[in-house]
C-alpha cells in the first residue's frame, strides 16, 4: 500500500494545460457605410487549470469563468465572451464596444492545440 501511495506522489502533477490558437476575427464598425468588415488572423495562447477551474491568457490575465466542465469552458474578459470546445479544440469569441457614436463588433473562431512545454 505504501509503495502505491509513493508512486502516486512521484507522478508529475500538471496543474495547467497550455494551448496555442490561430483565430480568424471579423471586425465590424458601424461608423460609416463605406467601412467594410475587416478580417484578421490572430495567434493567441492561454492555459486551463482544471484543479482551480481557471482559464487565463498566457500573460496571466484570468478570465471570469461562467461554465467549466469536461466538454465546454465559457469565460469572459472585458467586453469579449469566449467559448472553448474541449472535444475538438475550437475557440470562439464575440464582443462589442461603443466609443462615442461608433460601435465595434468582433466575432471570431479558430482551432487550438495543446502547446508543447
Summarised one tens digit per residue, pLDDT across range 4-61 is: 444 444 445 557 999 999 999 999 998 766 678 999 999 999 999 999 999 999 999 9
Predicted local confidence at residue 7, as pLDDT: 46
Contact 48, 32 (CB under 8 A): no
- Rounded distance, CA 64 to CA 72, Å? 14
Residue 53: which residues within 8 A CB-CB, separation 6 or more?
65, 68
Q: Which pLDDT band holds residue 101 (cuts at 50, 70, 90)?
A: confident
Q: Are strands 90-99 and 38-49 parallel, antiparallel or unpaired?
A: unpaired
β-bridge mates for residue 38, sequence order: 27
Instruction: Give the pLDDT of residue 50.
Output: 95
User: Residue 62 half-sphere exposure, CB side, CA atoms within 13 Å?
Assistant: 8
Q: What is the pLDDT of residue 35?
A: 72
Report DSSP state, residue 69: S
Task: Indicate the pLDDT class of residue 96, thresholds 50, 70 and 90.
Answer: very high
12 or 101, higher pLDDT: 101
Amino acid at each position: 500500500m505504501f509503495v502505491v501511495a509513493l508512486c502516486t506522489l512521484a507522478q508529475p502533477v500538471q496543474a495547467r494545460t497550455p494551448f496555442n490558437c490561430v483565430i480568424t476575427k471579423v471586425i465590424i464598425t458601424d461608423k460609416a457605410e463605406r467601412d467594410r468588415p475587416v478580417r484578421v488572423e490572430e495567434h493567441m495562447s492561454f492555459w486551463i487549470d482544471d484543479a482551480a477551474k481557471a482559464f487565463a491568457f498566457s500573460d496571466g490575465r484570468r478570465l471570469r469563468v461562467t461554465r467549466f466542465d469536461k466538454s465546454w469552458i465559457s469565460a469572459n474578459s472585458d467586453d469579449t465572451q469566449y467559448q472553448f470546445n474541449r472535444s475538438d479544440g475550437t475557440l470562439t469569441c464575440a464582443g462589442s464596444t461603443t466609443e462615442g457614436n461608433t460601435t465595434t463588433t468582433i466575432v471570431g473562431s479558430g482551432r487550438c492545440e495543446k502547446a508543447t512545454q
